[in-house]
């Protein structure tokens, strides 16, 4: 098979999952034109990473929640609450910066345990539990902050979301360290592709052609290196990107390669069948919510660091951004379907759209309208695809 026909096959067979990538490229192209290239300028690429990292972190937890057939409406309030706890400890009581970070993550985990208890053990639908959580943790935020904003954090704390690792290997008008990370990322991708291909070959399965493999690595490599070049010529490697990258890889592996991940998909796909296959449904659901709490805590730390303080109204509507990212990224509303990569690209679609519109000076109200319509269209496309697949049967 030629590379072209193999590629065509790859896209048409996975239209549902590849559709989002195509849409992503189109949206980038559109806004690049509309902003006269400003969208892809080094400083703006860095900005997008800094500005939307916490929504992507939330989307990582949310995709597992949604695949298991649940929803979590509380994460926006949790971001506010964990940030508030951290601010009270660090700003209010003068404790070291890292105590604040640990406290945010710890409180996040505890909140996850709270949700997990009600969803998994008591058996109340997650929609209700987390709706209650959304009110509850917002109230706790007000209480913790006595309804006033706290700032500023010490400079170490601000580094989490606003800091850069650069100059480690010297700078020459571009930051070498950033480029080295980029090279490692590409090499890691190539290695994992080659390894998986040879693994498949060893088991006598059909594998993609060598030419396609090289083309794939070359394209991904070019895009990734371009991205890191933009970072390197701007302000260097954002610390938050290292955190985010680590989390994305971890959760991608957890969802695609581990027994736990498989159980999440099994529960969402057919709960009864999963239970009768020996899946400990309660335990898995419990961990899904603990994990969501953990990530909400991390997002809370990052967000409070970026905004350099804690506000009673922080994180408002974040849950909806995270949920929208998952659905735009191809997750099914009925559970059992969805990918980490999809959720990330879905989040990036939203990020690029918001950022592009901000650059164009589009007002907030129009932005909201456009985002709403995109979410609707994405799910409509998904349903259209499913119907087409059903009719072909």
Partner 1 sequence: MDSTILQMQDITKTFPGVKALSNVNLSVARGEIHAICGENGAGKSTLMKVLSGVYPHGTYEGKIVYEGEEMKFSSIKDSERHGVVIIHQELALVPHLSVAENIFLGNEQERAGFIEWNHTNAEAAKLMARVGLDEQPVTQVGQLGVGKQQLIEIAKALSKDVKLLILDEPTAALNDDDSAHLLGLLRELRTQGMTCIIISHKLGEIEDIADTTTIIRDGQTVETLDMSDPASDQDRIIRGMVGRDLSQRYPEREPEIGDVVFEVKDWTVRHPTQTDRVIVDNASLEVRAGEIVGIAGLMGAGRTELAMSVFGHSYGRGIRGEVFMDGKKVDTSNVGKAIKAGIAYVSEDRKVYGLNLIEDIRINTTAAGLGKVSTNGFVNGNEEIRIAESYRQSMNIKSPTVMATTGNLSGGNQQKVVLGKWLHTAPELLILDEPTRGIDVGAKFEIYQIINQLADAGKAVLVISSELPELLGICDRIYTLAYGRMTGQLPRSEATQEKLMELMTIEKEAV
Residues of this chain that interact with partner 1 (CB under 8 A) are 199-200, 202-203, 205, 257-260, 262-263, 265-266, 269-270, 272-280, 332, 336-337, 391-393
Q: What is the DSSP letter of 121?
A: I
With 0-12 CB in 10 A as exposed, 13-18 as middle and 19+ as buried, what is 44? buried
Look at phi and psi of residue 347 and say left if phi exceeds 0, alpha if psi is from -120 to 50, else beta: alpha
- Minimum CB–partner distance for residue 325 and partner 1 (Å): 21
Of 142, 152, 72, give the one whose Cα is nearest residue 108.
Answer: 72
Of 61, 14, 71, 69, give the one whose Cα is nearest residue 255.
Answer: 61
- Minimum CB–partner distance for residue 154 and partner 1 (Å): 39
Continuous segment of H or E residues that includes residue 237: strand 237-238
- Minimum CB–partner distance for residue 197 and partner 1 (Å): 11
Q: What is the DSSP letter of 335?
A: S
In the block, tokens 């098979």 appear at 1
Minimum CB distance to partner 1 smaller for 122 or for 391: 391
- Minimum CB–partner distance for residue 248 and partner 1 (Å): 18
Minimum CB distance to partner 1 smaller for 76 or for 342: 342
- Minimum CB–partner distance for residue 338 and partner 1 (Å): 11
Minimum CB distance to partner 1 smaller for 148 or for 391: 391
Query: Quick count: other Cβ atoms within 10 Å of Cβ 239?
Result: 18
**C-alpha distances out from residue 88 to 93, 97, 296, Å:** 6, 11, 18
- Minimum CB–partner distance for residue 215 and partner 1 (Å): 23
- Minimum CB–partner distance for residue 65 and partner 1 (Å): 18
Sequence-ordered list of residues with C-beta below 8 angstroms from that of 119, at least 6 positions apart, any chain: 70, 125, 126, 129, 285, 286, 289
Minimum CB distance to partner 1 smaller for 235 or for 263: 263
Of 48, 301, 313, 55, give the one whose Cα is nearest residue 158.
Answer: 301
- Minimum CB–partner distance for residue 302 and partner 1 (Å): 28
- Minimum CB–partner distance for residue 203 and partner 1 (Å): 4
Of 74, 71, 139, give the one whose Cα is nearest residue 335.
Answer: 71
Continuous segment of H or E residues that includes residue 165: strand 164-165
Minimum CB distance to partner 1 smaller for 170 or for 202: 202
Minimum CB distance to partner 1 smaller for 151 or for 388: 388
Minimum CB distance to partner 1 smaller for 307 or for 341: 341
User: How far is Cα 140 from Cα 217, in angstroms, rounded to an integer?
Assistant: 48
Minimum CB distance to partner 1 smaller for 51 or for 280: 280
Minimum CB distance to partner 1 smaller for 199 or for 209: 199
């Amino acid at each position: 098979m030629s590379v072209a026909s193999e590629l065509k096959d790859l896209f048409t067979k996975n239209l549902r999952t590849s559709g989002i990538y195509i849409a992503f490229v189109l949206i980038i192209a559109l806004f690049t034109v509309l902003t006269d290239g400003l969208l892809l300028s080094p400083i703006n690429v860095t900005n997008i990473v800094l500005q939307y990292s916490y929504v992507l972190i939330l989307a990582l937890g949310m995709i597992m929640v949604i695949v298991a057939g649940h929803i979590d409406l509380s994460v926006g309030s949790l971001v506010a609450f964990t940030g508030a706890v951290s601010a009270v400890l660090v700003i209010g009581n003068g404790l070291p910066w890292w105590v604040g970070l640990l406290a945010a993550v710890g409180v996040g985990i505890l909140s996850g345990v709270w949700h997990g208890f009600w969803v998994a053990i008591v058996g109340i639908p997650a929609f209700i539990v987390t709706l209650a959580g959304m009110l509850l943790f917002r109230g706790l935020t007000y209480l913790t902050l006595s309804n006033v904003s706290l700032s500023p954090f010490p400079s170490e704390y601000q580094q989490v979301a606003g800091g850069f690792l650069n100059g480690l290997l010297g700078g020459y008008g571009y930051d070498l360290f950033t480029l080295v990370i980029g090279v490692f990322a590409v090499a890691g991708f190539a290695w994992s592709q080659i390894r998986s291909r040879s693994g498949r070959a060893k088991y006598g399965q059909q594998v993609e052609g060598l030419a396609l493999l090289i083309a794939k690595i070359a394209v991904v490599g070019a895009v990734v290196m371009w991205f890191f070049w933009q970072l390197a010529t701007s302000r260097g490697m954002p610390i938050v990107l290292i955190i985010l990258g680590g989390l994305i890889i971890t959760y991608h592996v957890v969802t695609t390669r581990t027994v736990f991940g498989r159980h999440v998909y099994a529960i969402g796909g057919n709960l009864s069948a999963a239970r009768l296959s020996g899946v400990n449904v309660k335990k898995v659901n419990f961990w899904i919510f603990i994990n969501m709490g953990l990530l909400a805590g991390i997002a809370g730390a990052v967000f409070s660091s970026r905004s350099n303080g804690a506000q009673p109204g922080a994180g408002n509507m974040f849950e909806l951004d995270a949920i929208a990212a998952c659905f735009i990224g191809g997750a099914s509303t009925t559970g059992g379907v969805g990918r980490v990569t999809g959720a990330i690209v879905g989040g990036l679609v939203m990020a690029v759209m918001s950022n592009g519109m901000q650059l164009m000076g589009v007002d907030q109200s129009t932005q909201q309208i456009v985002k709403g319509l995109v979410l609707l269209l994405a799910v409509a496309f998904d349903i259209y695809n499913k119907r087409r697949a059903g009719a072909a049967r």
